[in-house]
Amino acid sequence: MESLQIGEVKITAVLAGRLRLDGGAMFGIIPKPHWSKRMPPDGLNRIGMAMWCFLIEVDGQRSLVETGFGGKVTDRLREIHALEEDPGLVASLRAAGVDAKSIDRVILSHLHQDHAGGATTGTEKDYVPTFPNARYVIQEGEWKDAREADGQSVNAYPQASVMDPLEAASVVDFVDGDVDLGTIRLVQTPGHTRAHQSVLIESKGEAFFFAGDLVPTTHHLRPLYVMAFDHYPRETFLNKQIWLREAVEGGWWLATPHDPDLPWVQIREDSRDDYAVIELGASG
């Protein structure tokens, strides 16, 4: 488990598990001959990805960004996605000397199962917050959209296993738009969902940007590489242009949730309206 120091902030990449998703869906309109050079698929056209979470430690506080699947899938879905969650998020944190009870805040970029599923634990009739002393920070618009999801997207949101128990425990802090939490800043980056949020950390002249599903892997650095899963693909394209340019100009560290190897990188702009990795992060 590797850590990154951003000024006075310690950031640790925690691997919650691995999964495989259809490569065509992950790259949207991009032809397979192009994306398959970057991420070769298996015999079922699936590409391997990680589920990275990030522990942020500053001023005696611990914040966790994302929670992974949390084991809440059927055997069929586990097979379809080749899901691996051993040892899982909580065990990985414990191995790093971090108890679940010591987490003060959980930040969720959005409420899809592979990002929010680990926010609760237990059985179907007794789900409780995984991090009992934490406040869960979620965009109010994201929560509203998840509650009103229609047949096209309703299965992406873990309402009964995550949203209901968090609401019952009164541990959710809703935010609306860009929010300053001190050293941690939440910024709205709509596209994957309408109220998707990313995390920007700035300290002592250094910066770290967790893009969330705005940039799911380092193989999605080209703005046109937009997932078919995105609810608002044009917004993704426009926001990627804005934030990737900011990352280049500011020399930021860029973190992605699903890169199979690298939880964070630094990037440069190249000559093809594209961005490339210039300094590798550490795999976990």
Query: What whole-number distance in Å separates Cα of residue 254 and Cα of residue 26?
Result: 19
- pLDDT average, residue stretch 43-48: 98
Beta bridge partners of 10: 5, 57
pLDDT in tens, 6-24: 999 999 999 999 999 999 9
Query: What whole-number distance in Å separates Cα of residue 125 and Cα of residue 161?
Result: 9
Look up residue 209 and give its two tokens. 């940007």
pLDDT in tens, 142-190: 999 999 998 778 888 999 999 999 999 999 999 999 999 999 999 999 9
Query: Is the bond leading into 158 cis (omega within 30 degrees of zero)?
Result: no
Show the domain range for 221.
Answer: 3-280
Q: CB under 8 Å to 64, separation ≥6 — which residues?
A: 14, 53, 54, 55, 56, 103, 105, 106, 107, 131, 134
Q: How confident is the model at residue 284 (pLDDT cuts 50, 70, 90)?
A: very low
What pLDDT is stored for residue 13 in this prediction?
97
Task: Report the CATH number at residue 189.
Answer: 3.60.15.10
Look up residue 227 and give its two tokens. 């997932």
Q: What is the value of pTM for the model shown? A: 0.94
Query: What whole-number distance in Å separates Cα of residue 68 and Cα of residue 17?
Result: 7
What pLDDT is stored for residue 279 in this prediction?
56
Q: How confident is the model at residue 258 (pLDDT cuts 50, 70, 90)?
A: very high
Q: How many domains does the chain have?
A: 1
Q: How confident is the model at residue 283 (pLDDT cuts 50, 70, 90)?
A: very low
Q: What is the mean pLDDT of the chain?
A: 94
